[in-house]
Chains A and B, each alone.
Chain A
Amino acid sequence: MPKLPAPPIPPALKPPPTRPGEGNGRVSPADQAIEAGTSVVNWVDERTSLSGATRWLLFRKVPKGTNWFYTLGSATMFAFLSQAVTGVFLAMYYRPDANGGAYESIRYVTNDVFLGAFVRGMHKWGASVMVVLVFLHMGRTFFFGAYKYPRELNWVIGVVLLILTMVMSFTGYLLPFDQRAYWATTVGVNINGTGPLLGPYLSDFLRGGAEFGATTLSRFYAIHMLLVPGAIAALIGAHLYLVTKLGTTAPPWLRAKQDSELRKVEA
């Protein structure tokens, strides 16, 4: 790391340089704090070898030409993390009660809770942001040809993640339990029902019965906050593992170097 230029301080105000041997035996509190932190990290690392895993995950070689398009995956993940965190805290106020309680609890969050409208707004608008980012990330992968061998499985996992994101959007839309939520879900469940043979049964599974009933809302709530987020988190783990293991691709406009050129560089 290059040394920064010294700030223009008058010589009289500068701290006197330590003489050789003067600092011996005396440790400043800052040094002590750094020492304590280092020893804690060392204690953990000696027992887990996590530093190796971290190095493997973060300090890897990326191809020449890596650009801003490659950040769309991380952006999607942070959108998911934002949804997860705001969702956990919204769950502290939300009540999945079809008999008016759900709407009332959302109204309470929006109007009465400190920063409630802000946190709910982040969750609501963040949902759209996540869907948009998922598609941009998918488009990047497609147009850069990053789905090709040996990364096909990562494409498949990504498509499953896309579908799960859609499931999140669908189930989350019902939770405010206003007119829009109710009718959008009615239409959505009926669209599921138009699949031949299994469609009607899928509708019954989603509603928890033949008609929109008391358990439909809690069913959607459980799918929205427990079932699908767990699956998404696990699949993001698998997605990142494969990205780290296989590495990223160079952008398609970069030509691969000829074998002769590579030899020239090495020599």
Chain B
Amino acid sequence: MAAQRKMQQSKYTADRLIPGSFAGETVTRRRFMTGTAHGAGAVAAAAFTLPSLAFAIGPIFKETPHHWSVAGSESLFNEDNYVPVVVTITPGIGQVGKTTIYVRKHNDELDTDRYDKDTPYIAITSRCAHLGCSVRWVDAAKRFICPCHGGVYDLLGERVAGPPVRPLDRFFTRVSKGLVEIGPRFSVNSELRRFSPRDPGEPIDGIGQYLYPSRPSIRI
């Protein structure tokens, strides 16, 4: 019985009989040195790895300030058709930060949806809701058509044909000193209800709004 108890020695003092060890110590000095050396190495590695990782993934959690840019004077737009204008959505990077959007005046007959009541202008993005190619407004067909994979949208930006998973995104608009200004982007579901903006390819009907959450970097 006593011999058995001796066999079940603590693993921390298994090397207790090596030279330099003494009876009664709970953790041998060799094991202590090994532990501190490994621990110091781990701390040193973490000291440069963790800040670097946080540095790289930081933009995911950064809130970007809302940016308003001028689309043009009010006389430029009408109630019945879209006018393409180029606005800056990401300032500071020149041409790459610009995008084409389609703007028309709010039309009480067309824009019957209650969500549209407070917007003086309807501004629709040119980014296809499928994978982000540029759609163009084809006046003859009264459709937005995407050249990449054949997405087609109607006058309100709702999907008519092709692979897009939701209507075209829109922008907030406001009028200031006779100039139409374009604000942050927002997404709409198939009932044209507003949601925080999503990336193309992300459905927001039903369970989609939970599977593809909006992120801090883009939330409105």
Contacts and interface: CB of A to CB of B under 8 A. Distances in A.
Interface of A: 98-100, 182-183, 186-187, 189-191, 193-194, 196-197, 199-201, 203-205, 207-215
A191 B131 contact: yes
Interface centre among B96, B212, B218, by most chain A C-beta atoms within 10 angstroms, is B96
Contact of B199 (A100, A190, A208, A215): A190
A205 B199 CA distance: 13
A65 B169 CA distance: 61
Contacts of B95: 99-100
A196 B211 contact: yes
A193 B148 CA distance: 18
Nearest to A208: B59
A203 B199 contact: yes
B70 interface: no
A103 B202 CA distance: 31
18 contacts: A99-B95, A99-B96, A183-B134, A186-B132, A187-B148, A190-B200, A191-B131, A193-B202, A194-B201, A196-B212, A200-B199, A201-B60, A204-B215, A211-B89, A211-B97, A212-B96, A214-B92, A214-B93
A210 B133 contact: no
A214 B93 CA distance: 6
Contacts of B51: none
B193 interface: no
A190 B132 contact: yes
Nearest to B201: A194
A204 B59 contact: yes
B201 A190 contact: yes
Nearest to B213: A200
Given A204-B218, A210-B218, A213-B93, 9 more contacts: A99-B94, A190-B200, A191-B201, A196-B211, A200-B215, A209-B62, A210-B64, A210-B215, A211-B89
B205 to A, nearest CB: 14
Nearest to A177: B96
Given A196-B212, A211-B90, A204 B96 contact: no
Contact of B217 (A186, A197, A209, A214): A209
A200 B212 contact: yes
B57 interface: yes
Contacts of B96: 98-99, 182, 212
Interface string B76-96: 000000000000011011111
A230 to B, nearest CB: 14
Contact of A194 (B97, B133, B148, B202): B202
Interface in B84-133: 89-90, 92-97, 131-133
B143 interface: no
B217 A210 contact: yes
B198 interface: yes
Nearest to A203: B199
Contact of A213 (B56, B97, B148): B97
B57 to A, nearest CB: 6
A211 B60 CA distance: 11
B57 A205 contact: yes
Interface centre among B93, B94, B212, by most chain A C-beta atoms within 10 angstroms, is B93
A182 B94 CA distance: 14
Contacts of A211: 64, 89-90, 97
Given A205-B57, A209-B59, A199 B132 contact: no
B90 A213 contact: yes
Nearest to B217: A210
B217 A204 contact: yes
Contact of B131 (A182, A190, A213): A190
Contacts of B60: 201, 204-205
A214 B96 CA distance: 9
The 3 A-B residue pairs with the shortest CB-CB distance, nearest first, are: A210-B218, A196-B211, A210-B217
Nearest to B214: A200
Contacts of A199: 202, 212
B202 A187 contact: no
Contacts of A183: 133-134
Contacts of B197: 210
Contacts of A214: 90, 92-93
Nearest to A197: B211
Contacts of A213: 90, 93, 97
Contacts of A207: 59
